[in-house]
Amino acid sequence: MALITLLTDFGTADPYVAEMRGVLYSRAPGVTLADMSHGIPPGDVRAAAYLFGRTWHRFPDGTIHLVVVDPGVGTGRAALAFGAAGHWFVGPDNGVFTSAFDQADTPVVAIPAPPDAAPTFHGRDLFSPTAAALALGAPLSALGEPLPTVPVRLTLPAPYYEGKMVVGEVISVDRFGNLVTNFTPAEVPPYAVLEVEDAEVGPLRRTFSDVESGQLVAYLGSGGQVEIAVRDGSAARRIGLGVGGRVRARLG
């Protein structure tokens, strides 16, 4: 039986995730469900797209990825299903699937909402039934018609040069308070010195223990971006910086 991943901003204190699980288990008995996260900040499509882009390709071929971070629920935004790189994707057309579109190998299908779907809960009444149908082997052509427009893609910020300085920004903050930037090793050579706000972080290190406890440290994170942390602490709290905050790499 198929594997379905779940990524939402619903949290776990309310009934929403449980209701989606109930629909999936009822319509596709024996299906395996795996949680990516239910801790996305409410309505934060960019945060969902970042987390999703880091994780979906780690799952085996044939996995169905169900994403419900959907601040436009009940509006004219399209509901999507498509295949890419041996995986299946179901969710809103708001950019959460930006990382997968370049590998799409099927048409992107617009899924119609059932007449009795709650306009505020397509996760339960539209997306979960669609994911269950895919788990049972339904073809995309049975789920909807080809999307008549280009699907929404998020435009991610890119670093830029100011003289001998490369300027980037924080694109995510994890639960440890580590600042994930849009820098890659291409923008931060070994001789570069990282700066954030009025603080000098220093050159790239290998891991947290390369500095003393309480010190700032920059390193190449496991997702391929440069990150800034405080050893045994929170860089977000220390610096007071969040998503969109500027970081700099001084090249000379």
CATH classification at residue 230: 2.40.30.90
The answer to the question of residue 155 being in a domain is no
Three-state SS at 202: strand
- Choosing from 122, 146, 170, the residue where a domain stops is 146
Domain span holding position 10? 3-146
The Cα angle at residue 154 between residues 58 and 16, in degrees rounded to 5: 65
* Predicted pLDDT of residue 157: 87
Residues of the chain with pLDDT under 50: none
Residue 178 tokens read as 């580590």
Contact predicate 162/243, CB 8 Å: no
State the DSSP code for 16.
H
Residue 206 and residue 107 share a domain:
no
The answer to the question of residue 154 being in a domain is no
* Predicted pLDDT of residue 124: 98
Residue 117 and residue 20 share a domain:
yes
Give me the residue label for tokens 């949290």: 11
How far apart CA 47 and CA 69 sit, in angstroms, is 10
The answer to the question of residue 152 being in a domain is no
Residue 171 and residue 128 share a domain:
no
Length in residues, the chain:
252
Residue 199 and residue 121 share a domain:
no
Contact predicate 230/177, CB 8 Å: yes
The Cα angle at residue 171 between residues 202 and 86, in degrees rounded to 5: 120
CATH number at residue 135: 3.40.50.10790
For residue 180, the cross-strand partners are 172, 227
- Choosing from 92, 119, 146, the residue where a domain stops is 146
* Predicted pLDDT of residue 28: 98
Residue 139 and residue 39 share a domain:
yes
Contact predicate 54/41, CB 8 Å: no
The Cα angle at residue 44 between residues 216 and 73, in degrees rounded to 5: 175
Residue 102 and residue 188 share a domain:
no
* Predicted pLDDT of residue 219: 97
* Predicted pLDDT of residue 197: 87
The Cα angle at residue 250 between residues 244 and 252, in degrees rounded to 5: 165
Residue 108 and residue 195 share a domain:
no
Task: Pick the closest to residue 171 from 247, 96, 235 (CA basis).
Answer: 247
Residue 42 and residue 142 share a domain:
yes
* Predicted pLDDT of residue 1: 77
- Percent of the chain past pLDDT 90, that is, above it, reads 97
Q: Residue 30, class by beta-carbon neighbours within 10 Å (0-12 exposed, 13-18 middle, 19+ buried)?
A: exposed
Residue 20 and residue 141 share a domain:
yes
Counting the structural domains of the chain, the total is: 2
Q: At residue 116, what are phi and psi to the nearest 5 degrees?
A: -95, 10
Residue 120 and residue 219 share a domain:
no
- Choosing from 93, 123, 146, the residue where a domain stops is 146
Residue 83 and residue 10 share a domain:
yes
